[in-house]
Amino acid sequence: MNQDILDRTAAFVEQTLSADSSGHDWYHVRRVWQVARQIGRAESADPYVVELAALLHDIADWKFHDGDAAAGPRAARAWLTELAVDAATIDHVCEIIERLSFKGSGVADEMPLLEGRVVQDADRLDAIGAIGIARTFAYGGHVGQPIHDPLVPPQRHDSFEAYKNSRGTSINHFYEKLLLLKDRMQTPTGRRMAEDRHRYLEQFLERFFQEWNAAPGAPCLPSQSAGR
């Protein structure tokens, strides 16, 4: 029965996100799902909860629902209720989805659930490395965000509201979020997996600014401490 629910949920998510062009598509969810399974096995987490939460974690992202952070848990609850999943599992999955998102560099992560830490690490791993770089610029293009503006410095967001309402650049996003994720991984497995991907972010930025600064008078690299 659990496998049938997982199969139906995967099909539902694939169909729902099939037209996404922002980097929050089915293939993002599929990668998070597979990595979460890997981390979950290593961390002895409940595999059923891990897989459901990973599959449904972006079913209604607040970024595409007028900043409504309750949209995701609400959509997940509706779907799981339709499948007659037991109430305790629904509550567990929805609490993970509610707590999952990065909420600003100045906002502490609060994820008391082991399965939530597993899924959060898997989701954050997909935000760094080569895939994370590609997704950053896909999202930036989707919302009409500049690649880089040296006159717009990275910001520290001390509340979720400030983070949600921020209008920056794709390069600033590296300093406001992506470069911070390695140190915010919450499982030993996730921390190990993040090391190489984090180095790739740093290498990319070094090359980006080498090319950017090749133009006479171009401003220099933002401070690595920005957003921390």
One-letter-per-residue 3-state SS of 180-199: HHHHHCCCHHHHHHHHHHHH
Predicted structure pTM score: 0.91
Domains annotated for the chain, with CATH where assigned, are 2-212 (1.10.3210.50)
Q: Render each residue's pLDDT in the chain as its tens digit; 228 residues.
A: 699 999 999 999 999 998 888 889 999 999 999 999 999 999 999 999 999 999 999 998 878 767 677 899 999 999 999 999 999 999 999 999 999 999 898 998 889 999 999 999 999 999 999 999 999 999 999 999 999 999 999 998 888 888 888 888 999 999 999 999 999 999 999 999 999 999 999 999 999 999 999 866 655 556 544 444
